[in-house]
Amino acid sequence: METGKRNYYLEIADNAHILSHRLAENCSRGPFLEEDLACTNVALDLIGLAESVYNEIAKQLEGNISGDDVAYRRDEIDYRNCLLTEQPNDDFAHLMTRQFFMDTYHYYIFTELSVSSDTFLSALANKSLKEVTYHLKRSSEWMIRFGNGTKESSERAQAAINRLWRYTDELFTSDESYSDLIGTGVYPDQDKLKKSWMQKVDEVFFLAQLRKPENKGFQLHGGKSGRHSEHMGYILSEMQFLPNKYPDATW
């Protein structure tokens, strides 16, 4: 498998995987039972998405490697998820704001990928769009509810936005290993994605009476090239514990 392609695939898979891991941490901690179950549902959709991509990577890589090997047996520096996905749940406003940013991203990237000349990605995108559309509907409704609910909910949502905004620009950056295929019909144009993403965010923020932070230009990057936040090591040490400790075991 060619490096650029592998990296692009890994970004998609790791984003879904790490985000679902964070959502799964929330299981039995939701604000009420129905919402607890709904978050788990999204986590399940995202694991399924990650799993198909990991399996495809394993198939295309040389050697006897499984999708789980790709998912679990890499060093932190080889995980290519964006910093946003690994940010902690904190309160429900942080969880949902992170989700809203990622759902919007997934919605547009899969819309674009659904017509990609990469047949695996276009099939994946077409399969995932229905789920992702539903995720986006849910998280935008929560943002609007936060903003128009109580003073506290609106303040918490604004605090989450202020905190997480700095990780949003990274979604639209390209690793140089695949940048030559960006905008060619294989991988979508990042500027176009960013524009669609921003429009949707603006629209929802308007309805929610929420706003971008004052210093919206302050942005952090690194996840896509394996330079993560301090949170990532803890995520992986839990996630990889059994495969690391018992490398010969199957479960």
Partner 1 sequence: MKETLLDEATLLAEFEAKIDAEIKIEPRDWMPDAYRKHLIRQISQHAHSEVIGMQPEGNWITRAPSLRSKKILLAKIQDEGGHGLYLYSAAETLGVSRDQYIQWLHEGKAKYASVFNYPTLNWADIGAIGWLVDGAAITNQVSLQRTSYGPYSRAMVRICKEESFHQRQGYEIMWKMMEGTKDQQRMAQDAINRWWWPALMMFGPHDSDSAHTGNAMKWKIKRETNDRLREKFINKTVPQAELIGLKVPDANLKVSGTDSFGEPTYDHSDINWEEFWQVVNGNGPCNEQRLEHHVKAHQDGKWVRECAKAFQNNNDSINR
Name the residues that contact partner 1, by CB under 8 A.
21, 24-25, 27-37, 40-41, 43-44, 47-48, 50-51, 54, 67-68, 71-72, 91-92, 144-146, 148-150, 152-153, 156, 235, 238-239, 241-243, 246, 248-251
For the range 61-69, what are the long-range contacts, defined as Cβ-Cβ under 8 Å and sequence gap of 24 or more? 61/1, 61/6, 62/1, 68/243
Shortest spacing between CB 153 and partner 1, in angstroms: 3
Least distance between partner 1 and beta carbon 183 (Å): 32
Q: Which is nearer to partner 1, 161 or 171 (CB)?
A: 161
Does an H or E element contain 230, and which? Answer: helix 230-239
CB of 4 or CB of 67, closer to partner 1: 67
CA-based angle 145:135:173, to the nearest 5? 105
Residue 16 vs 181, nearer CB to partner 1: 16
Residues 6 or more apart whose Cβ sits within 8 Å of residue 1: 57, 60, 61, 62
Residue 64 CB, nearest distance to partner 1 (Å)?
16
Q: How far is the CB of 241 from partner 1 (least distance, A)?
A: 5
Q: CB of residue 150 vs partner 1: minimum separation in angstroms?
A: 5
Q: Is the dihedral of CA 4, 52, 134, 208 positive or negative?
A: negative
Query: How far is the first Cα of the chain from the last one, in angstroms, to the nearest whole number?
Result: 28
Identify which of residues 71 and 193 has a Cβ nearer to partner 1 in the complex: 71
Q: Whose Cβ is closer to partner 1: residue 97's or residue 196's? A: 97
For 173, the 3-state DSSP assignment is: coil
